[in-house]
Each structure stands twice: as structure tokens, then as C-alpha cells.
Structure 1
């Protein structure tokens, strides 16, 4: 009896030990599963974070939008008569616009058909109208209004792909062209500016070396046209050879030349300043970045805002000609090159278009040195032309769209 009871007790103890062992094993199994699930979730979370970071690195940053003002509205305007890229545009003293030359067909820089047509925009009738055709096809010419209202078309690249030495004069009364006085040398992709005394200056660009018999991509030569004598005179050369640079007349009458270089590099950081009174050049302080296909805009205070350029640049800079110093001016939300910039009536600067067929329009506030996206163009475009009419309308014209050259125009009421 005692032995049987002892055996039952031993058996019960063994069963209890088995139960305890099973409970322990279940606890260990539960703990193991919990650890595995936790590690799996951490791993998944890390992968998700990594993937999100990769997407963020490959995409543009969040656009800074100005919520304090109404978005700018860009309306479809009256289209030009001809598609144009790399054309010349001039605001005339009678309030009209004139557009000349450019490229009509062909996406590559020197391919396709160049244009010899010229058209006039009348803001009163809101119409573009063809006037006479030039004697030569011209891409990237420049325009100068002569006393009396005639217009001179200068240089550029010919249909034969040679820099041009010739000029042509449009008779504003008859709408016909005649050949004008030749420059001293050919100029394409040059800078040009009207001096305060009424003379017209052409600066650098690609040229044709008559002595060597071949084109040079960059030149430092400059020349000045005097409308009173009707002649070109050689001016002092720059220190550096330049093409695709920007040129402005400063408030004190000096000429500033900014950046430039070959389209595939290198790009110049340097600036040079010309004094028409002494016919001399001097270097100014260098920019932070070398720039080609950038814009330069005179601000209301006389300083110069430089924006963008090839190489996906977002950093903007402001030059003070009184102190010969540069200051950083924020970063655009989109990298810009081959874009357009225009000073508005309130002192802000509107930037539109650019490489990538950008539609986003940005506004620079000089009081805060900040950039904000303020609206969208209807058509993304590279190398648009932009101007502000006397009635406050801002016209953004032509250039290159995803499907080729554009004739379309967009209008913003400033």
C-alpha cells in the first residue's frame, strides 16, 4: 500500500515536472518568436527608410511655395508668326517689339533651318505681323535701334554655320532690309549693350579668324558702332576670351561682363568691367561658381542678380558694383540654365523656363533673399525670351519645348 502510494506520488511529481518543462519551453518559444518578429520589423523598417532615402536623393527637394500671395496666372497669348529659338528680341521706342532670326527647326544647336524672317508685335492690336525678310539667315543675332526708328541686325551664325561679320538695316517705313556697315570681325554668341552716349558695343563671342582660316570658339575682341558716323571702331579687348556670357550696363555707365565659356566647359567665374570714358577693362571680384547659360539682372538698387547656369546650379549671387563684392542670394527651387529672368515693377525678379522644359515660375524677393514657386507656365520651355510691355504685361515667348521649336506666347499681368 505504501509502495503503491509512493509510486503514484513519484509519477505525479514526474508529470508535474513535465508540465513545468512544457511551460518553460512554451515561454522560451514565445520569447524566440517575439524576438524574431521584432528583428523582422526592424529590418523591414530599415529597408523602408533606406528606400525612402534613395527616392529622396534621386528626386527634387520639396518646392518652396509662397503662400502669402496669390499664384501668378499665365495666360495663353497671341502666338508669334514663326517658331523661334536663339532669336533676337528688342523693345522699340514706339512701344512695339521686334523679333528677328533664330532657328525654326532642329533640336541640336547647329542643326535644322535658321530663320531670315522678322516680325513686329503691336501691343495695341495684340498682333504679330511679318515685316521684310533679312538678306541672310541668322541664329543668335543682336538688335540695335538706330536714331529715327530703323533697326540694325548684327552678326550671329549664318545658314552655312559661320559667324557673321555682316549687319543689315530694317527701314521701319518700308519694311525692307539693306546691308549695313560690316563689323571689324565676325561675332556669334556675343554680348551686346547700348552705351549711355548712344553708341552700341559688341563684346566677345565665337568668331572667324580670317588670317588662320578657321572658327575660334571664344574671343576677347570688342568693337563699338557709332550711329552718327555709321562706322565700327575697335575697342580695347577683354583680358579673357568669352562666349555665352552676360553683359549689362551699370547705373554709373560702366559695362559689366559676367562668366561665359564654351558650352561644354570650362565655365568662367571671372567678371570684367569696361569704362567707356577710358576705354579700359579691369577684373572685378570673382563669383562663387563658374557660369554659362545664366541670367544677370539689374536690381532696383543697382546691384546685379546672377541666377543659374549649366551644371544644375541653384545658387544665386548678388554683385555690388560700389564695393566690388558678391553676396549669396539664396537658392532657386529648380536648377536653372538657358532660362529667362525679368525685373518686375515691385522690385522682385521673375524667373521662368530652363533646361528640363521647366514649367515652374519662381520669384526672388530682394528684401529677404528668398525664392518661391509662384505659378506654372502652360508650356515648359528652354531659352524663352521675356520682356515687360509699357502697360505692365509680361510676355514669355517662343524657345524650345519637348516637341521642338515654339511660337507660343504666355502673358502675365504685372
Structure 2
């Protein structure tokens, strides 16, 4: 039985089904195209059939066709390897606390971060088609723990960071010219804050902490037209390492975070909504169960925000512990509901929504125990199914990671970057 070399070959065969065997041979793909095929594909025997078709699972059934001078009714099933992690090309410089931003081209811009405690100005770009990295122009200054937002016209705004001191500056990356240009500085020095792009293309920065470690209530807005920042309404609660997300109605939801009232760190369960039209904040229901920080906040395809994991203080003598709960927020009722327990409590993790609508959560740290708590860096990953409100384990990453980035690609893969152990793969791909 004739085997088809790669997925692009299969597409060519289907497109030329009526062209005859000669046309199929002439349309063979180049080695470059074959190299870009899905990783670790697999062919499985299938019963003879009369048609060729594909389905939503990503599998493709090919049947019949010419074999030499004759025809066959045999069939084969092409099944890409699913729900698995695989190593991809390594970073030029491994890093933690960096940013990863998908560009309009589909490439991923990885900027700054830290390596062995030193903040980095270096920048790299990942090409999902060739699965390779390229070194780009460096930022104007080193940044670690900063925030990056892609603006509607394709430029990337990078804000703040905390090298040796809290950085107030911001700069813009132009992917066409591969250049960085300084833009207006924040009105207030802050680190461990959040930035959210509004429907107008402006960017609102919320909370964070200042150089004295106080959690900030202040917020400010970046106007790309003028390259300047202006103050907007203040939150009711100061918060850092909180969650922030743009909701479908144009408002911004912030939830959780921590406050330091020396020498005690408090974790808040409060949540607030920002209206960019009026520039004001209103309180909404608290997240259920407990205050938390270092959780993830994602918008599901249903339009409901989901808060996942985080850490909280169980007792002053033991410090913070990991949370295994998740909670859904309803914009209609303004209330939170429990969305099920993760298989492992985690913070410093990452979460992304997959094309299927499921939520992938991976990595982070888990801290559990009684009198002698144990902190474990995690490689494990799990999936949340909104249809059943259940969490299930999926394949673990190749190495444990925390304070890394997780970026969904246009190829439907997910790219995990950085902050793994020395000697391990600095980047890897998840195939849903």
C-alpha cells in the first residue's frame, strides 16, 4: 500500500484527486514544506471506504486512488500526535519573568526577563513555521517583571519592570523596522502591576507596588496617539500580582492580589470593575473562599472570566500556600461561582484558552504541608472543560517551569518559554 510522506503531501493529493497520477507526482511538496508538517504524525490502518474526508479531531481519512497502474480501495487514517509536549529550538538566552507577545505575523516576540538574577535587554523572536528563534534588536534598557501589550496597528508597548529599582519608562517595538523607541513614562513607579488594552486602543495600567512595597490603588492610561500617560480613577483596594482582563462589554475586571502592611502580607478576595467611558471603578462580589494572588484570569469563549489557582496565607508562621480552586465570574449577575478543583494547587503558573474552548493550565509552584511546608516546581498540566466544569490531567511539560510564558500560536499549538532547570529545553510546544 502506498504511503503518503507528509501532511502537505496529503493536502496536495486531495486537491488533485481528479487530476490523475501524473499531476500528483508533479505537485510533490518541497523539503521545506515537508519540514513544516505537524510533528510526530502517525498513520493508522483503516477499513476500505469510497470517500476521503477530514473531521474536527484533526484526523484525515484518505481512501482509494492509484497504486502503480492499478487502483485500490484501501484507506489510511492520518492522526497527528495530540495532547503532548515536544521540545523546540532553544532560546539564545534562557530567561524568567520575561514577556511573550504574538505579533501580527504570527511570530512570538520574547523580550527581557532575568538570567541568573540579572535583568536582560535582549529580545528574540520565535517563528512557528520553521520552529526557530531569531535575535532581534535589544530594548533600550534591561527589564524584568515588565508588561507587554500589542497595540491594534502591530506595535508592542513594553512598560516598566524591576531591575535593581522600579522602572517607570516604556518603549515601543516596531516589527517592520525591528526598532525600539522610547515613549512616555508612567506617572507612578510600579512593579507587579497589570496592563490591559481597551477597545479604543488605549492601555490601562492597574495597581502594582511602589519602591516602598506598598500596594497601589492608582491607575493610569496610555494614549498611543500622544505617547503620554494620564491618571484615571483609583481602585477601592490596593493590589499587586492581581488578575486583570477585558470583558466583552468593554469594562476591565480586576480580582485578588496582595497588600503589604509591614510586616504582614495580606491577600485580598475583592474584585472591581473599571468603566473606561467614565474612568471610574465600582466594586463587585468577592472571589469565593479566600483572598489570593499570583493566579491566572482568562476569558473563556462563553465570555465568562475564570480565576485559576493562586496562593494565600494559611498562617503567619508558615507563609503562603497554593490554591487548587477555580472560580467563574458572571458579568450579568456580578457574582462568582466555584468552577471545580485543579488536580494540583499552583501559583506562578500560566493558563491559555485552546481552540477547543478548553483551558490549559501548566507549570507553576505548589506549596503544601503542615508544620514543614514543601514547595515543588511543577511540570504538570491540566485541562478545564467549560461544558462539564471539570479539570483533568493532560501530558506534563518536559521540565518544571514557573514564572514562564505560555502563548497560543496560530498553528493551534501552545508555546512554553523559559524558566526551566539548567540543561533542560528552554522552550517546548503543546499539541492539543
TM-score range, shorter chain: 0.7 to 0.9
CA distance 1:286–1:228, change in 2 (3 Å): same
Runs of 4 or more, structure 1, over 4 Å off, are none
- Single out whichever of 173-182 and 293-302 deviates more from structure 2: 173-182
Query: Which of the numbers 187, 199, 203 marks the counterpart of 2:206?
Result: 203
Query: Which of the numbers 309, 323, 346 marks the counterpart of 1:313?
Result: 323
Structure-2 residue corresponding to 1:231: 228
Greater share of helix? 1
Structure-1 residue corresponding to 2:145: 140
- 8 Å contact 1:348–1:366 — kept in the other structure? yes
Query: Which of the numbers 236, 259, 273 marks the counterpart of 2:256?
Result: 259
Q: TM-score scaled by structure 2?
A: 0.73
Deviation of 1:132 after TM superposition, in Å, equals: 1.3
Query: Which of the numbers 139, 150, 155 marks the counterpart of 2:155?
Result: 150
Query: Which of the numbers 98, 102, 107 marks the counterpart of 2:113?
Result: 102
Deviation of 1:257 after TM superposition, in Å, equals: 0.4
Matched, 1:382 2:366: no
CA distance 1:207–1:130, change in 2 (3 Å): same
- 8 Å contact 1:156–1:164 — kept in the other structure? yes
Q: Distance in 2 between matches of 1:300 and 1:78?
A: 31
Structure-1 residue corresponding to 2:3: none
Deviation of 1:144 after TM superposition, in Å, equals: 2.8
The answer for unaligned runs of 5 or more in structure 2 is 1-80, 312-320, 366-375
Structure-1 residue corresponding to 2:304: 303
- C-alpha deviations, 1:220-247, integer Å up to 9, x for none? 1111111112221111111111110111
Deviation of 1:400 after TM superposition, in Å, equals: 4.0
Q: TM-score scaled by structure 1?
A: 0.76
Q: Distance in 2 between matches of 1:334 and 1:265?
A: 24
Deviation of 1:391 after TM superposition, in Å, equals: 1.6
CA distance 1:71–1:120, change in 2 (3 Å): closer
Structure-1 residue corresponding to 2:431: 413
Structure-2 residue corresponding to 1:17: none
- 8 Å contact 2:98–2:404 — kept in the other structure? no
Structure-1 residue corresponding to 2:270: 270
Greater Rg by CA: 1
Q: How many residues align?
A: 329
Query: Which of the numbers 198, 208, 219 marks the counterpart of 1:222?
Result: 219
Greater share of strand? 2
Higher relative contact order (CA 8 A, sep 6+): 1
- 8 Å contact 2:91–2:426 — kept in the other structure? yes
Deviation of 1:146 after TM superposition, in Å, equals: 4.2
SS of 2:411's equivalent?
coil
Structure-1 residue corresponding to 2:193: 190
- C-alpha deviations, 1:10-59, integer Å up to 9, x for none? xxxxxxxxxxxxxxxxxxxxxxxxxxxxxxxxxxxxxxxxxxxxxxxxxx
Q: Distance in 2 between matches of 1:399 and 1:256?
A: 28
Query: Which of the numbers 177, 180, 184 marks the counterpart of 1:177?
Result: 180
- 8 Å contact 2:247–2:253 — kept in the other structure? yes
SS of 1:79's equivalent?
coil
The answer for unaligned runs of 5 or more in structure 1 is 1-69, 106-111, 209-214
Deviation of 1:148 after TM superposition, in Å, equals: 4.5
Query: Which of the numbers 327, 331, 334 marks the counterpart of 1:324?
Result: 334
